[in-house]
Amino acid sequence: MNAPGRDPHPRGWWAMVLSDIHFWVPLAVLMGGLLLLRFIR
């Protein structure tokens, strides 16, 4: 059941993650949320 094309090295999917916009959009919103929390406190 394992995918034949999967890179066995963790750095392989780390590179995929870091080049994925689905990762950066939530990360940017998280940073904005932390700034807002700091402002409100």
Partner 1 sequence: MLPVSSSQFPAAIQDASRPRKLQLLGILSGFAAGAWLGAAEAPTKLVSIGISPMVISLIMVIGVFLARWSLPALILGTSSVRADVRQAPHLIIWALLAGCLWAVANTLTIFAIRDIGLSIAFPLWNSNSLLGILWGFLFFNELHQAGWRRRVGVLGGALVMCLGATLLAVASSARGPAAHSLHGVWAALGAGILWGTMYIPYRKAYLTGMNPLSFVTFFSFGELGTMTVLSVSSLGLAPLWQELLSARSVIFWLMLGGFVWVIGDVFQQYAAKYVGISRGIPLSNSNQLWGLLWGILVFGELHGRSSSIYLEVIGGSLLMMLGVGAIAFSSATGREQIRWREAAIRESDRYGVATDFVEARMDGRQVLGEAKPSRSGLDWLLVVAATGVFVTFAAMARVPQMSLHWGPAAVLTALLFLFLVICGLTLWRTTRFN
Residues that bind partner 1 (CB under 8 A): 1-3, 5-7, 10, 13, 16-17, 20-23, 25-27, 29-30, 32-34, 36-37, 39-41
CA 24 to chain centre: 6
**Minimum distance from CB of 8 to partner 1 (Å)?**
10
Token pair, residue 36, equals: 């807002």
Instruction: Report the alpha-carbon angle 8-9-10, nearest 5.
Output: 115
Least distance (Å) between residue 26 CB and partner 1: 5
Q: How far is the CB of 33 from partner 1 (least distance, A)?
A: 4
